Structure 1
Amino acid sequence: MISQSSIDQVFETARVEEVIGDFVNLKKAGSNFKGLSPFSDERTPSFMVSPVKQIWKDFSTGKGGNVVAFLMEHEHFTYPEAIKYLAKKYNVEIEETQQSNEQKEAANERESLYLVNEFANEYFQKILHKTDQGKSIGLSYFKERGFTDETIKKFNLGYSLDDWQAFTDEALKKGYSIDYLEKTGLTIVKPDKHFDRFKGRVMFPIKSMSGRVLGFGGRILINDKKAAKYLNSPESDIYHKSKVLYGIYNAKQSIAKEDNCYLVEGYTDVIQFHQTGIKNVVSSSGTALTSEQIRLINRLTKNITVLFDGDAAGMRASLRGIDLILEQGMNVKVCSFPEGEDPDSFAKQNTLQELTLYLEENAKDFIQFKAGVLHEDSKDVPIKKAETVRDIVNSISKIPDRIKKEIYIQECARIMDISEEVLFSTLAQINKKDFQEQNKQFTKQQKAFEVIKHQQPVKKVDVQYVLERKIIEILLLYGNRVEDFEDLVLKENDKGDLILEPIIQQAKVFEKIYLDLQDDEMQFSNEQFKNLYYTIIDVLNQNPEFDLKMFINSVSQETANEITTILMEDERYSLDNWNRMNIYPKEKLNTVSQLVSETILSLRCFLIDQKVKEYQQETLHNKNDVNKNILEEVKDYSGLKMLLSRKLNRVL
């Protein structure tokens, strides 16, 4: 268990915008930051981070909370793991008691898989550096590749002994379950035996964006035609190769800083580039590029430079991934190396300055590169040239931005020596075909929607819920502020009519709200708001120095999520950039007393309406015996509502 003092120190030190900035490319939006949601596929930012309140909100999925809640949602950390991650990031020493065997066994399955992978990662490194076989075979291989000791340790490179059961036996000896060893793919289990999947291979741990070991890649070092040269961990609950990029953990900060990501094919390409000094580089780990991998990069930058070998086959294979990148609305450049070279070998033979200069001079816009490669194959053959042009226009059709499309059409016309009119006509044909396909899909979805729409009645706005929610928001934001309030005292004038006489009184916001609700004997109808209301009032009473950040950290995750939703509700409108259109919303801070008064008055009006409706129902059920007292009550309530409405400047 982690001590409370350590947890408090972590919360005091951690900055939500810095932590989330490691995973999402955040841009300033007034006093907040905004970015693309890391929990959904979107092109318009709906993710907000508030440095002042130290909270975040994802309006596309409804998720939100503090810095720990983000790590638990995004990285699937447990609460203690999130605290440990933050402690490590901010160099905070934490006090922790030793876990018992029972506590270890109680860890959920996902966590058990992570623990097994972490053990394997440490084990393979130990074998590489501490055993004769590891040094003579594994370490020698890495040294031959030109990797320094610092680089080998930075990427946690390791070695699996050329022994059928060495790793598995050691893991079982340490108390790890064979079930989890099998589920991570580290051990292959047969009815009568079990053995190591990565026997006799150098090991490359594959990490998540936060640094957790998801799986491994292993390279065999002997010539065995029956064995694959590279072997990856199989799919598991924590490892999905289509959603992972090798090197993203080491590259994420550089990608965001440089606003560009180099995409290569293999593990050693990433490591060699990193060692040379170019750190914003990742690899698809030998798999075909996927939309999920592109979106992972899209959180950090809009710019991708695809790097690949100089051979023609490799170029054509990489061209297929370009359309996927374009579909995500990203900017693509392509750079190939001289024939016979790959990113690994080229980086090894050149200095940082030489490598940087080569990339700058040879990275071409995708349209120039694609036209060059395909044109080389089809020159002097009219039919092939026509196919090439259609192929290029098809790629251009994937681009969401219309201005970019037109510019690329013009560029294609220039390179391929063909009229723009023909290319625009071809683009229109492709777009029409795509539109028809999308229209079919839309029609199907609409039919499904119609069924749902007829089944579900339109939900009415719950006025009391909205007002109770607003009271909670006011207490959280301004509870301790001292304000001048204009109270209304009900009096009878000389003519015997009821009037509201204003009196100015000074009070704290939370005291004003509490006394008003108590005087009118108003109760919260929403149970969650009711509990939250009394908790906030109690904290404000006991602690004059109310700290919103610490309060959010002290409540349950469910309550924290609700608080975040309430506090960030107004922030979502800053996503629309109203200031660009010279529309400046009025700041609440200048009208807190008015906001409090209007909210309480509105709640009173609503409750009066509810009371009048109750009396109406009562008279409808007893038509022959209408109570005169009820009619008098209704008259009084109607008069009171008229007065309150005048104060609210509403027309009845």
Structure 2
Amino acid sequence: MISRSTIDRVFETARVEEVIGEFVQLKKAGSNYKGLSPFSEERTPSFMVSPVKQIWKDFSTGKGGNVVSFLMEQEHYSYPEAIRYLAKKYNIEIDEIEQSDEQKQQADERESMFLVSEFARDYFHKNLLEDEQGKAIGLSYFKERGYTEETIKKFQLGYALNEWEAFTTEALNKGYNLKYLESTGLTIVKQDLLAENGTKTFDRFKGRVLFPIHSMSGRVLGFGGRILTNDKKAAKYLNSPESDIYHKSNVLYGIHYAKQTIAKEDNCYLVEGYTDVISLYQSGIENVVSSSGTALTGNQIRLVNRLTKNITILFDGDAAGIRASIRGIDLILEQGMNVRVLMFPDGDDPDSYSKKVSKDELKNYLENNSQDFINFKVSLLMEEAKNDPVKKAGLIRDIVISISKIPDRIQREVYIQECARIMDISENVLFNELAQIDNKLKREASKSGRSSTYNRGKHPDPNEPPMDVLYPEMLQLQKTPQFEKINELKKYEREIIKILLLYGNNEVDFVDYVEEGEVEGKEFHTLKKEHFQNVVSKEIYLNLQDDEVEFTDETFKNIYYDVINQLNQNKNISVDVLVNHSNPEVSNLVTNILMDDEKHVLSNWERKDIIVKSKESDLSKMVLDAIYNLRRVLIEEKISSLVSNVENESEREQILETVVNYTSLKQRLFERLNRVV
């Protein structure tokens, strides 16, 4: 178990903007940073990072927290894993406290799968570099491909011995559970009645060189294995099967190594295979990733979209393979991204071409030979269509369909003009065709109840059931407006907590109104203005203490007690302690409150010449209004409770007198709040 002192050093050292910047492209927005949400599909930034407060907030999903909670959300780390990741990043030595057997057993299944995968990576890598068979077969193969020792170590390449159970036996001897060897796909378990325990185990990657597949943060998710023999019955490449930690449609090979350069260069090169990535990387092109032989998916594109809006697809000279991959272009356009395409000379792919030319020649070729998707489609298909008017019309229609995927209207128009110029056809014809495609999609969306999907610029999936089939309750909700009653008590409890977090240490000139007046022994009420100075947190504490107010919401109560405890010990409130609180509900709520105050930054009001009034100017009124409103709601609830609990006539008069007194008190609170009853 990690010691408290190590955790404190991690929080003191780690910078939330640096860590999140490796996963999301952040741009300066005042004193904060903003970017696209990594947790939802969006085109307008709603994700904000505050370097001053060392917190983040995703306004599209409501998630937020500190640097550790981000890693837990983004990479599904456990709390200790996130601390270890940050300690490694910032070169912090970890102090360990001995775990009990019970604590060791509490590691969840996902964490166990990651541990098994990391062991496999190290085992296969050691085989490659130290085992005689590994050096003779695996290492020789990689060196023949021109990989340097530095590259082999960088990508943690490995080799599985050409033996049926070499890996499985080693893993079991090291104490790893067969359950996780099987769930990660590293070991195949089959029923065998002749075996001693009724099962037989095999190493999935027997006799293959291995490419570890990493998440964006560097966790080992699975492996790709290439066979080196001429066994025609065996697949040339074999990937880890789908598991709780590996979903191939959500992963891009090389993203862990490429992410920083992608953000820096503001461009991502997309290739087909593992060796393409490694060869280009070794040749100095580090902003390169691969879909690992699978068809490109929307989730893979969104991984890149967090880092850059620009993708360049690198194709080899195989025309059949290119046509099969063209669908990926439309997917990229749908995400509102810019896509360019580059073809290598016939017979070459990124791997082979990078070995033929120098690093400078490769870089120049990539920079000078990419083209937009219209020119690419024309150059690819025009040769076979030029003498056939029907085929040419089909090509033009195909290009317009691609343009229709683009959500930005201005970009659409620019591309229509470009298509008209290249294909020598009227812009009006193309705009009419585009309008017909749009209208057709609208009709389809309307019929299937998915117009909202269309309006977001995302075209409906023809295989997806209509909304009224998926969610029949939606039809009733559309007919019957429903409004959730506001819990006023929670509203003002939250307001008090917010004031404590944002302004609790401020000393303020308060202006209050006190009651005075007596005529012939009878009291009457006038309000006299009174000025006094106090610290905000102290003023709130004294008022709530006088009224013996208890917070009804458990999280608010925890935060309030922590604040009071801090005040008793340090005389000041440290928001950092609450942001990094061990209770995730406290940490999340505190972050939400702190970042909600920064939400206006996303709208760039200052650039629109709209002045956002500082809340500090009305801080005295804000504090007293929150206290008075909380009292008012508590009085209203007390009156309601009294009235509903009248059981007999004898109690009625006494309760009525109490209600009158409470109502009078409420009237005075309204006067202080300048409200009309």
Smaller-chain TM-score range?
over 0.9
Q: Go from structure 1 to structure 2 and tell me whether the alpha carbon gap of 1:637 and 1:105 turns closer, same or farther (over 3 Å shift).
A: closer
Opposite residue 93 of structure 1, the aligned amino acid is E
2:209 pairs with 1:238: no
Give the alignment partner of residue 524 of structure 2, picking from 484, 488, 497: 497
Q: Go from structure 1 to structure 2 and tell me whether the alpha carbon gap of 1:493 and 1:354 turns closer, same or farther (over 3 Å shift).
A: farther
Give the alignment partner of residue 281 of structure 1, picking from 282, 288, 302: 288
Give the alignment partner of residue 576 of structure 1, picking from 581, 588, 603: 603
User: CA offset at residue 197 of structure 1?
Assistant: 1.0
State the Cα RMSD in Å.
Answer: 2.2
Opposite residue 555 of structure 1, the aligned amino acid is S
Q: Deviations over 1:272-310 (max 9, x none)?
A: 111111111100001000011001111111111111102
In the aligned structure 2, how far is the partner of 1:534 from the partner of 1:561? 17
In the aligned structure 2, how far is the partner of 1:101 from the partner of 1:340? 59
Determine if contact 2:578/2:586 at 8 Å carries over to the other structure: no
The residue number in structure 2 matching 1:226 is 233
The residue number in structure 1 matching 2:502 is 477
Determine if contact 1:479/1:540 at 8 Å carries over to the other structure: no
2:274 pairs with 1:264: no
In the aligned structure 2, how far is the partner of 1:10 from the partner of 1:323? 43
Q: Deviations over 1:103-161 (max 9, x none)?
A: 44432111111111100000011000001111111111111111111111000011111
The residue number in structure 1 matching 2:15 is 15
Opposite residue 561 of structure 2, the aligned amino acid is Y
SS of the aligned residue for 1:627 comes to helix
In the aligned structure 2, how far is the partner of 1:518 from the partner of 1:396? 65
Give the alignment partner of residue 424 of structure 2, picking from 404, 414, 417: 417
Deviates more, 1:346-355 or 1:270-279: 346-355
The residue number in structure 2 matching 1:630 is 656
In the aligned structure 2, how far is the partner of 1:628 from the partner of 1:311? 93
The residue number in structure 1 matching 2:342 is 335
Deviates more, 1:590-599 or 1:122-131: 590-599
Q: Deviations over 1:163-208 (max 9, x none)?
A: 1111111111111122211111111111122111111111100000
The residue number in structure 2 matching 1:393 is 400
Opposite residue 621 of structure 2, the aligned amino acid is Q
Q: Deviations over 1:199-218 (max 9, x none)?
A: 11111000000100000001
The residue number in structure 2 matching 1:178 is 178
SS of the aligned residue for 1:190 comes to strand
User: CA offset at residue 625 of structure 1?
Assistant: 8.7
In the aligned structure 2, how far is the partner of 1:281 from the partner of 1:632? 75
Q: Go from structure 1 to structure 2 and tell me whether the alpha carbon gap of 1:78 and 1:632 turns closer, same or farther (over 3 Å shift).
A: closer
Opposite residue 631 of structure 2, the aligned amino acid is R
User: CA offset at residue 535 of structure 1?
Assistant: 2.1
Map 1:239-638; keep pairs closer than 5 Å. 239-442=246-449, 444-445=466-467, 448-452=473-477, 457-492=482-517, 496-614=523-641, 627=653, 630=656, 634=660, 637-638=662-663
User: CA offset at residue 341 of structure 1?
Assistant: 0.9
Q: Deviations over 1:575-630 (max 9, x none)?
A: 233333322222223332222112112223333444454566578x8789963883
SS of the aligned residue for 2:557 comes to helix
Determine if contact 2:559/2:578 at 8 Å carries over to the other structure: no
Deviates more, 1:488-497 or 1:74-83: 488-497
In the aligned structure 1, how far is the partner of 2:397 from the partner of 2:531? 76
Q: Go from structure 1 to structure 2 and tell me whether the alpha carbon gap of 1:278 and 1:98 turns closer, same or farther (over 3 Å shift).
A: farther
TM-score, normalised on structure 1? 0.95
Percentage identity across paired residues of the two chains = 62
Map 1:109-148; keep pairs closer than 5 Å. 109-148=109-148
Deviates more, 1:60-69 or 1:608-617: 608-617
In the aligned structure 1, how far is the partner of 2:611 from the partner of 2:302? 33
In the aligned structure 1, how far is the partner of 2:16 from the partner of 2:586? 18
Q: Go from structure 1 to structure 2 and tell me whether the alpha carbon gap of 1:493 and 1:293 turns closer, same or farther (over 3 Å shift).
A: same
User: CA offset at residue 327 of structure 1?
Assistant: 0.6
Q: Deviations over 1:465-505 (max 9, x none)?
A: 11100111111222222222223322125584212222222
Determine if contact 2:138/2:209 at 8 Å carries over to the other structure: yes
Q: Deviations over 1:360-415 (max 9, x none)?
A: 11111111111221212211111111111111111111111111111111111111
SS of the aligned residue for 2:534 comes to strand
User: CA offset at residue 644 of structure 1?
Assistant: 3.5
Q: Deviations over 1:301-342 (max 9, x none)?
A: 111111110221122122121000011111101111111111
In the aligned structure 1, how far is the partner of 2:481 from the partner of 2:386? 61
In the aligned structure 2, how far is the partner of 1:488 from the partner of 1:166? 83
SS of the aligned residue for 2:326 comes to helix
In the aligned structure 2, how far is the partner of 1:555 from the partner of 1:101? 23
In the aligned structure 2, how far is the partner of 1:530 from the partner of 1:158? 53
Determine if contact 1:3/1:95 at 8 Å carries over to the other structure: yes
In the aligned structure 2, how far is the partner of 1:98 from the partner of 1:309? 54
In the aligned structure 2, how far is the partner of 1:629 from the partner of 1:345? 91
In the aligned structure 2, how far is the partner of 1:585 from the partner of 1:646? 29
Determine if contact 2:563/2:573 at 8 Å carries over to the other structure: no
Structure 2 alignment gaps of length 5 or more:
193-199, 451-465
The residue number in structure 2 matching 1:24 is 24
User: CA offset at residue 526 of structure 1?
Assistant: 2.1
In the aligned structure 2, how far is the partner of 1:349 from the partner of 1:558? 57
Q: Go from structure 1 to structure 2 and tell me whether the alpha carbon gap of 1:626 and 1:170 turns closer, same or farther (over 3 Å shift).
A: closer
The residue number in structure 1 matching 2:195 is none
In the aligned structure 2, how far is the partner of 1:626 from the partner of 1:92? 70
Q: Deviations over 1:521-544 (max 9, x none)?
A: 333222332232122111222123
Deviates more, 1:551-560 or 1:323-332: 551-560
User: CA offset at residue 268 of structure 1?
Assistant: 0.9
Determine if contact 1:126/1:158 at 8 Å carries over to the other structure: yes
Q: Go from structure 1 to structure 2 and tell me whether the alpha carbon gap of 1:190 and 1:610 turns closer, same or farther (over 3 Å shift).
A: closer
Opposite residue 42 of structure 2, the aligned amino acid is E
Determine if contact 1:480/1:540 at 8 Å carries over to the other structure: no
TM-score, normalised on structure 2? 0.91
User: CA offset at residue 6 of structure 1?
Assistant: 0.8
The residue number in structure 2 matching 1:70 is 70
SS of the aligned residue for 2:422 comes to helix
Map 1:178-197; keep pairs closer than 5 Å. 178-192=178-192, 193-197=200-204
Determine if contact 1:273/1:347 at 8 Å carries over to the other structure: yes
SS of the aligned residue for 2:112 comes to helix
SS of the aligned residue for 2:448 comes to helix
Determine if contact 2:277/2:290 at 8 Å carries over to the other structure: yes
User: CA offset at residue 234 of structure 1?
Assistant: 0.6
The residue number in structure 2 matching 1:217 is 224
Determine if contact 2:578/2:590 at 8 Å carries over to the other structure: no
Q: Go from structure 1 to structure 2 and tell me whether the alpha carbon gap of 1:543 and 1:454 turns closer, same or farther (over 3 Å shift).
A: farther
Structure 1 alignment gaps of length 5 or more:
none
